Amino acid sequence: MSKLTIVLLIILVVLIGVLVALYFFGKKAQKKQEEQQAQIEASKQLISMLVIDKKRLPIKDSGLPQMVIDQTPKLMRRSKLPIVKAKVGPKIAIMIADEKVFDLIPVKKEIKAEVSGLYIVGVRGIRGSLEKPAEKKKGLFARFRRKKQ
């Protein structure tokens, strides 16, 4: 065998090993995520609140309790989270919204939200339904693709 085939076989074996490791890691992460989702579903409550403000902020600038910031993984501390500032009863609360729900939350309006701890899972309008946000403008290449089809 030549040196080239030996090198290619070693690279192939390493790639197969990495793919197998990623497969098992992905299954483990998916199982963990399903367990967390089940806990969220079990502990969610329907709460009416007046949304004051909503922004995407880094977790250190969000105003969340220090205990929550300390519990987040190091990699997540730099990413921006969808933060909602709302008046719940007489108190003003700072909550984290789910990515799917964040765009539906209207500012300066009263809503009924499904909340699990500090996490907003779902949103409903108190008076009527919520308006869906306008679709984002499509880029140049997307328009050309659509014209071809």
For residue 95, the cross-strand partners are: 84
3-state secondary structure of 133: coil
Kindly report, residue by residue over 84-127, the tens digit of the pLDDT: 999 998 999 999 999 999 998 999 989 999 999 889 999 988 87
C-alpha pair distances (Å), 50 with each of 91, 94, 118: 11, 12, 15
pLDDT at residue 22, as a whole number: 96
Q: Whole-model pTM above 0.85?
A: no
Kindly report, residue by residue over 50-72, the tens digit of the pLDDT: 999 999 999 888 888 889 888 88
3-state secondary structure of 55: strand
